[in-house]
Amino acid sequence: MNTLRTGILMALLTGLFLAVGAVIGGGTGVMIAFVLALATNLFAYWNSDKVLLSMYGARQVDAVSEPGLYGLVQRLAAEAKLPMPKVYITENPQPNAFATGRDPDHAAVCVTTGLLAQVNQEELAGVLAHELGHVKHRDTLTMTMVAVMAGAISMLANMAFFMGGDRRNNPLGLAGMLLVTLLAPVAAILVQAAISRSREFEADRAGAEITGRPLWLASALGQIERSARGIENYPADANPATAHMFIVNPLHGGISGLFATHPSTEERIARLRAMAGANAAPVRKGPWG
């Protein structure tokens, strides 16, 4: 059901893109919008992981430089029946993590130094399994494409608004043109948020199934949420379009409700606790290393 829903929402994004193109230049605008969408998505397909990791100053680690972290990812990837992803660390005091890559064969997981400093090994395993859940479901590609499409829709809408669009070939008329240029970016953000929220729930479930211990992730989410509220993530603040890639919203003072890119942490924890059942063993305390 979630896969079908994601497909429908992606189709809505494409429709919005073409509608804005029609406002800019009628039939010609539709073709321009289509070519632009194809070009931006091709770029995102091949280069999004490199751009994202570079944006956050992430450094790749291996079994020599970070044997504990690398070995944990290796064991979880084997449990999930996934190829071994590249492993990165970014110097950031906010506890958080994200995954990227166009497919499981070209995946990467990245954790912040803040995460490594604040969680134990069980909680870290829960977080990493969640990110591998995104990789397994190919969410990293879907969410990148969604971000690119939403950004391109906003760019086209701004062009149409300031350039005035093609009023002669625009079947919507002046009022319709104004509505499209003003509401299309808002609609794109809503669609992006809806896709992101649904994929987070699925990654939580997948992560819990990989470890077999839903409470590991539940404990980590609670701790990350509490800490992230008080610690700035400046690269994410400067690039809010990437916020939905993280396990917990890295932004401060953002819009909640319909525009939230993440479901509430409380609901995520409640679902994980329900998966664990009443007899689940508690998560031990202490540093992960």
The pLDDT of residue 129 is: 98
SS3 call for 198: helix
For all residues of the chain together, what is the average pLDDT?
A: 82
Q: pTM of this prediction? A: 0.81
Catalytic residue, chosen from 66, 122, 123, 131, is 131
Q: Is-catalytic flag, 131?
A: yes
Confidence of residue 15 (pLDDT cuts 50, 70, 90): confident
The answer to whether residue 34 scores a pLDDT higher than 90 is no
The answer to whether 283 and 126 have CB atoms below 8 angstroms apart is no
The answer to whether residue 171 scores a pLDDT higher than 80 is no
Confidence of residue 275 (pLDDT cuts 50, 70, 90): very high
The pLDDT of residue 273 is: 95
How do 86-90 and 108-112 pair as beta strands? parallel
Of the two residues 75 and 139, the one the predictor is more confident about is 75
The pLDDT of residue 223 is: 93
How does DSSP assign 65-128, residue by residue?
T-HHHHHHHHHHHHHTT-PPPEEEEE--SS--EEEE-SSGGG-EEEEEHHHHHH--HHHHHHHH
